[in-house]
Amino acid sequence: MLDVTLAVPATVRAFSASALPWLDMGGIALFAASGAVAAARARLTFVTFCFFAAITGTGGGTVRDLLIGAPVFWMHDSVALGICLVMALIVWFTPQRLWQGKALDWFDAAGLAAYAVYGAAKAQAWGIPVVPAAGMGVVTACVGGIIRDVLAGVPSILIRPELYVTPAALAAGLYVALTAIGVSPVAAAGIATVAGFALRGIAIARGWRLPPYRGGEPE
């Protein structure tokens, strides 16, 4: 009973050690694929495919690790970079029509939600307080795509009229809020991932948007 506040970190650590790596690998693979698809649209070469896949797949997590003061995750084992190269190979050798429709958007939605939760959880594991930890979830989920768009010379996902940062903020914020009120990390991660994925999914399927800025005046 008395150990409730101490018990939570232990659960968090146990959860981190089991489920979180899978969220992480999934996020890397999905973002690497979206980087390779951007390279395909620009008709780039195979080496540049790999470069785009690696930067998009690892970019968000790299910025998160630099900000929280953790060793950059893909520096000390070769698995993450290997996943990116495999995704580049898969996109290169499969027919482009597989990657053109909304299929990729749905994978990307799953990666966005999973990566937002993983980023917030990793930041908390490194002792970052709740507000910046939620911010780290958003950074982990969004920065890879931002770098991909800037390098490809297309308008950044940030300024396209899609709900993209918002689902990431929902997933990261929910995870942080739920664990703060005592929900177990496993349940919080599940709820937050599903909520972020659902919001992004509605945006894809129905074109939902938040209202844009209208000049700060009542209408």
Please report, as ranges, the residues that interact with a second copy according to CB under 8 A.
Answer: 39-40, 42-49, 51-52, 54, 62, 66-69, 71-72, 74-78, 81-82, 91-96, 98, 128-132, 135, 138, 142, 146, 150-153, 155-156, 158-159, 163, 165-166, 169, 209-217
Distance from C-alpha of 194 to C-alpha of 176, rounded to nearest angstrom: 15
Smallest gap, in angstroms, from Cβ of residue 187 to a second copy? 25
Compute the Cα dihedral for 188, 17, 112, 210 and give only its sign. positive
User: Closer CB to a second copy, residue 63 or residue 189?
Assistant: 63
Contact predicate 46/104, CB 8 Å: no
What is the closest distance, in whole angstroms, from the C-beta atom of residue 144 to a second copy in the complex? 14
Nearer to a second copy, 108 or 162 (CB): 162
Q: In one letter, which amino acid is 42?
A: A
| Closest separation in Å from C-beta 114 to a second copy | 19
> Given the complex with a second copy, which of 19 and 202 has the nearer CB atom?
202
Q: Compute the distance between CA of residue 194 and CA of residue 191 in angstroms, rounded to an integer.
A: 5
Contact between 31 and 143 under an 8 Å Cβ cutoff? The reply is no
> CA-CA distance, 87 to 57, in Å (whole number)?
10
Rounded to the nearest whole angstrom, what is the least distance from the CB of residue 117 to a second copy in the complex?
Answer: 17
Cβ proximity to a second copy: between 3 and 217 the closer is 217
With a CB cutoff of 8 Å and minimum separation 6, the contacts of 166 are 199, 210
